[in-house]
Chains A and B, each alone.
Chain A
């Protein structure tokens, strides 16, 4: 009985800590990208101007990311942010009608996820160009 009770307490506390650490870790990934400006080319492709991303932009930018070769090796970070995006979206669906301030917080988080994806796209395009230039240089 005591062993089972301890396992229940550890399970509940660990799940709560997991959600919290995962959320903060994703925020730390996003924070590094927020300060980076987008090139005019990426702004045109994604429709996102610096600091003006919307929550609905994220799935579209992720589709563009899938089309771009991953020379930047950021697949795991993009996957983590995708997980965070769906987590925040679930929070918006469940809590936003009860707490209006949660809605504005969630909207801001979702928009920042979209901006992170746009910055990742920028890196991938730039890495692909570098790789292509190196390949052309080697073939000469």
Chain B
């Protein structure tokens, strides 16, 4: 059973298609990243999954339950952290946690234990009695995460949890997410930070309401560029001979000369397979291989390539 599944999900505002035929399949136990620039339709998609917005068309299932028909039931599985800080600013950290816990029927000693655990986990103990409105941006986000987890949800839906958060704290956040994921929580997270997407098990790239690419980060890169890149560094004297040998492994993307050294950029099906074979083949022909490794392609490159045509 999938944690979240959407089928031809569409949302139209007036004559603007915010979400267009989106099919998401989020397996249980993964960190699924929904990636895209601002205005791509990520928030609208999440809100429909949470049952906060009525879809114009399409179906949504959370752990096999139809969100539109069984919203009450589905809500217990989902912990949600909206993009905008949405807790009561005139209540303290503790009061916010206590209130939301009570709405899920967690009260008394059970609630106290759960709240203490969350305060500890997200380093909120010293802010326990401070008004939520008086907290700094990062602390607010930590509180929002704590509240989203107050009822021990199986699925965590996070809308731009790290927007406007400074880099060290962003890393801390991702540490929390991986920890939670290890404990079995399925996470659906949106972001427009491409570097964060590398942490996800699975990704969907969204652009103008549509999913333009889907898969694991490396799958997406391979799909978009038609393979992976390997850089082979050689002495200049060997270049002619080497290129003809290298063409057997894939296509030559680029040849760069750096004094008496040349760097050949090679596009192969799988870098993992190609690297040792390239080295063995060249050395068999007595060519000195100065270096051979896969090139890291950032998702940003992928994204730029994907949307190049449409902008």
- Do A and B interact with each other, yes or no? no
Partner-B contacts on A (CB < 8 A): none
Partner-A contacts on B (CB < 8 A): none
